[in-house]
Amino acid sequence: MEEETIKPVELEETKEIDLPRADVTSYIGKKAKIMSADTFEGKYGYLVKVLTEDLGPLLDATGNEIKDANGVVIQARASKIFGLKSDASGKVGWTKDSKLGDFLKKYGVSHFKELVGKEVVVQGQDNEGRTFLTFL
């Protein structure tokens, strides 16, 4: 695993800024298709990130679309992350009774790549006063 590189910078002026807070409640309970299931290497090892298709524009509490720094409307998506394990021989995978194993069984597939195209129900998950979109 590569170590992250952090470099010092001098910023001319920094201050508290206001950013819109997303309201994702309108997407909870909707059905969406999984558009990707990809592997990544993170701080704690390998993981699988599963993403839904775009659900629609990300809205603030007043119903206005949230845009990025380039003025492009940000699309809401639901995601789910599963950790992978390594066995004694160094092979990376998951166990039958892991969260990923249970999820694959629920959708009748044997590998996470086969999840693409499957329909899921979007759910909200609260974390530190914010609601994030995930799925069952």
Locate 75 and state its tokens. Answer: 């699309």
* 92/98 Cα distance (integer angstroms): 13
Between these two residues, 101 and 2, which has the higher pLDDT value?
Answer: 101
Which among 79, 92, 6 has a CA at the least distance from the CA of 41? Answer: 92
| pLDDT reported for residue 81 | 96
For the cut 90, the answer to whether the pLDDT of residue 111 exceeds it is yes
Q: What percent of the chain has pLDDT over 70?
A: 97
Q: Is the pLDDT of residue 1 over 60?
A: no
The pLDDT tens digits for 3-43 are 567 788 888 889 888 878 889 999 999 999 999 999 999 88
- Any idea what the Cα angle at residue 99 is, between residues 82 and 86, rounded to 5°? 60
| Residues with Cβ within 8 Å of residue 30, at least 6 apart in sequence | 55, 121, 122
pLDDT of residue 2: 55
**CA-to-CA distance for 47 and 38, rounded, in angstroms?**
8
Residue 119: the pLDDT is 97
Helix (H) or strand (E) holding 105: helix 99-106
